[in-house]
Structure 1
């Protein structure tokens, strides 16, 4: 694995656009430069890979997520709940990344569906800063 930098991550999320309230979580992480992008690892919480324009999130915990986001495309994923796994599909409307060796910002907005059922519109923002 290449060298990494220790970073602090502010992870913001909200559902249902402007009417939703932003939830915020601060995490410690490791920031890696890869040949085709970046990887953020937050121990026992999540891994975010930004490779060749795609954002892939693997989040651990009581509610887990495995999902890839690609601007203007629908992608398959899964949400793991205590009751079992749920197949989901995300359509990414917006995806912006301003990333450098010392961190940066990452934002995406998407609609999520499961079995042709709308689950809502979501927004995720990460502010990654070297410690």
Structure 2
């Protein structure tokens, strides 16, 4: 069983009918009852995703700093900060799923032991209590055999 490794991360984002795909190199690792995915969006911004069954958090640091939390069927607050603006966010998560060959570890968490796996979530994003967009995110994690 692997608990970590290099990864190719393919991020598909659909927002209000428009689809954008990004490809990153990064890493994945398991720690306690969580699965982590870490990658650089660009030279100035890094992202860290933490998934535990039923919950996903996304933290971005660098030129852009943001914290978002997704819990299926619930609303959560977060924040966004860049050089030009700061604002509060609210996510209303409609669904959150993990597609993988997973097995329970000694802590009882049902998590993948190795790629490939897919995290998928749908949510409405509110900024200042106004609907900013409806999002559908698919994060494909594959082993990186080149690194």
TM-score (norm 1): 0.87
Gaps of 5+ in 1: none
- In the alignment, what sits opposite 1:120? 133
Gaps of 5+ in 2: 101-111
Q: Assess, with a 3 A threshold, how the Cα gap between structure 1 residues 14 and 64 changes in structure 2: closer, same or farther.
A: farther
Q: Which moved more, 1:22-31 or 1:96-105?
A: 96-105
- In the alignment, what sits opposite 1:10? 10
Alignment of 1:1-131 (within 5 A): 3-16=3-16, 20-43=17-40, 44-60=45-61, 62-99=63-100, 100-103=112-115, 104-131=117-144
The size of the alignment, in residue pairs, is 127
After the TM superposition, list the runs of 4 or more consecutive aligned residues in structure 1 that deviate by more than 2 angstroms: 59-65
Distance 2:6 2:99 in 1: 18
Aligned to 1:8, what secondary structure does the other structure show?
strand
Distance 2:55 2:123 in 1: 13
